[in-house]
A and B are shown apart, each in its own frame.
Chain A
């Protein structure tokens, strides 16, 4: 059917563990982020220029994360969702303001799907072969950044939410708008799905709106009779499902940072002449949160290893909730300092709360499980 990278994984035995290659990739990304993207640096830039495009170029080009999901024939690494997930864990841990998820995951997957490119790199003739080939090459090397013009608040179950775009009669121009698009302001090209066809657009109005998530702001994208190249068919729901499965790994990273940072704080912070982490009221909460994170890791790994609609819905329903809960608890357990702008915990809370909505709320995913898992509602 589609060029789903998750499907390709079927050839490997399913594992929930990290491979050595994945651990090496993690170490490279973590090392770079520790050096170039500490929370203080993120805080400093979010009100002027939230995206760190220098960091993105290093990540995309030197470490090669942008091309992970792109077949080797197009200059990518031909890796699987499992490797991309590890990158997302690390980017989540750092709330790194780079367009990896929006460009190298969502837009790239839509492009691969639309061109029906499989790992062998065969392109059907019906699509705009040269444009796809050229764009994949630029994306793989990090020379171009793309965004999928779909609202971040859409879901695999309501993929059209926030979109009102129509194609002109000649099929070469688009008009309308999409709200809540993430990563559009730093994208060189936009990939726009209209009535099951994916279009490539280079000139569109992108207006960033004040966003809850400071590190991944959203924009309203407007097309006013914009020139568009039809690339091929697209199943937006499938693209969003693929993205939702991987977003669970980013949420895991957010949750891990919140847990680690809070643990360090409660060991240091003294009140009543004791570290506050010695009070059972606090220890027990952290033990429960740790257990939630342990299960979030299993859920995230399950979603990329299996890639099925059930595994994705499970991972999103669980990890979306867990990331928010733990960010809220992190803020609370930091006390007054947690409420200040200067402490980075709010960046994680904002990311977690926005990611909870992105690509379907936990409630949307649970509702989907009613039919996916055979737990029908009242008649």
Chain B
């Protein structure tokens, strides 16, 4: 199918379905017409065509009901994993309400004792007939409080080395024994949760992939996470820079020579980072993806932190807009004060792979440098020091 045929199909769909009618009906119909994610197979919201064609559909349907940002984890991480490892039954059951937003998803991966070293995770799943009983604690879970389902990695065999003893599940967030507690961050608000799992019973048909193959399944999820963090196009001097520049231009009385030097250095760094992103997107369109993507998040984290810190210093504002402990649905960088942006940006070098882990990934997978000697590779998980 080419662009013209897809446009025709989209037009025909719009003829039959009124975008100003019921939002959910419209989204369901869009899924059933294969116009949800065109690179997915037919019958699962797609048409089995190239992923690049999705932008054609998005353009044609730009004025129709859109998906919500709380669906991010479901769309970006759960869906590709279910597509790759789910049974036909699982794909049919989960993908449609995931895409329409009727069911929200979260991710139960990190634990208090397993952050960068995710494979050391300790949440146990023990088989009991046709069910699994899950006990443990997960953390850094955004959206858990309105999620219907979660993607969950557990330890099912403590007697083998850590990478081999894991199993991946879909977790029913409404099951007895699932407790979600807001986790307050340094910004004052709670964007994330701790999730306690106590004797949670999951039926075996919620398992994704083979028993013991959880690490491989989780890799699919994590690879998709890094793609999602790739970064959208920004204009020159835009993004986080725009907000600092506005203050800078509007308040000449705040400018100092020291801040000016630093701001110009950051302007250059932001611009070359923007150009790298533009070049990366050109490579993707030309079908020659390079390893450059691995570095983008590292650059953005550093820039965001440096800029938001400079912003606070520039304003000489000793106040803070709001320390109230409350839940937030997402990161609202521009609706909040400079102090909030400064504090929230600290998470940029931790979430989705710390900058240190990203440097390891770049140096080993892109630059081909040897890994550090490992003491945990061939030791049964239960014998690892912790």
Contact = CB atoms under 8 A, between A and B. Distances in A.
A295 B299 contact: yes
A299 B275 contact: yes
B268 A17 contact: no
A274 B252 contact: no
Interface string B250-279: 001001110011011101110111011011
A375 B265 CA distance: 11
A290 B275 contact: no
A57 B372 CA distance: 49
Interface string B360-386: 101110111111110000000000000
B368 A267 contact: yes
Interface in A249-292: 263, 266-267, 274-275, 277-280, 282-284, 286-288, 290-291
A298 B369 contact: no
B353 to A, nearest CB: 13
Given A263-B369, A298-B278, A302-B275, A379 B363 contact: no
A377 interface: yes
Chain B interface mostly helix, strand, loop or mixed?
A: helix
Contact of B276 (A15, A279, A295): A295
Contacts of B245: 374-375
B368 A280 contact: no
B259 to A, nearest CB: 8
Contacts of B260: 370, 375, 377-378
A287 B237 CA distance: 26
Contact of A287 (B272, B273, B359): B359
Interface string A345-379: 00000000000000000000011011001111111
A275 B369 CA distance: 9
B363 A378 contact: no
Given A266-B369, A295-B276, A287 B362 contact: yes
A295 B273 contact: yes
A314 B268 contact: yes
B85 interface: no
A314 B270 CA distance: 10
Chain A interface mostly helix, strand, loop or mixed?
A: helix
Interface string A285-312: 0111011001111110110000000100
A367 B298 CA distance: 27
Interface residues of B, number: 46
A277 B368 CA distance: 9
A292 to B, nearest CB: 9
A222 to B, nearest CB: 38
B249 interface: yes
A258 to B, nearest CB: 13
Contacts, number: 134
Interface residues of A, number: 43
Contacts of A290: 295, 362-363, 366-367
Nearest to A316: B268
Contact of A286 (B236, B267, B279, B369): B369
Contacts of B367: 263, 283, 286-287, 290
Most chain A CB atoms below 10 A, which of B268, B279, B366, B368? B268
Given A298-B276, A378-B252, A378-B256, A17 B282 contact: yes
B26 interface: no
Nearest to B286: A17
B110 to A, nearest CB: 21
A291 B372 contact: no
Interface in A122-157: none
A369 B267 contact: yes
A379 B252 contact: yes
B283 interface: yes
B356 interface: yes
B272 A284 contact: no
Contacts of B370: 267, 274-275, 277-278
Nearest to B264: A366
B279 A267 contact: no
B275 A298 contact: yes
Contacts of A295: 269, 272-273, 275-276, 299
- Lowest 3 CB-CB distances: which A-B pairs, in order? A283-B363, A298-B275, A287-B359
25 contacts: A267-B368, A274-B373, A275-B370, A278-B371, A278-B373, A280-B360, A282-B369, A283-B367, A286-B369, A287-B358, A287-B366, A290-B362, A295-B272, A295-B299, A298-B278, A310-B236, A367-B264, A369-B268, A373-B237, A374-B249, A375-B260, A375-B267, A377-B260, A378-B252, A378-B255
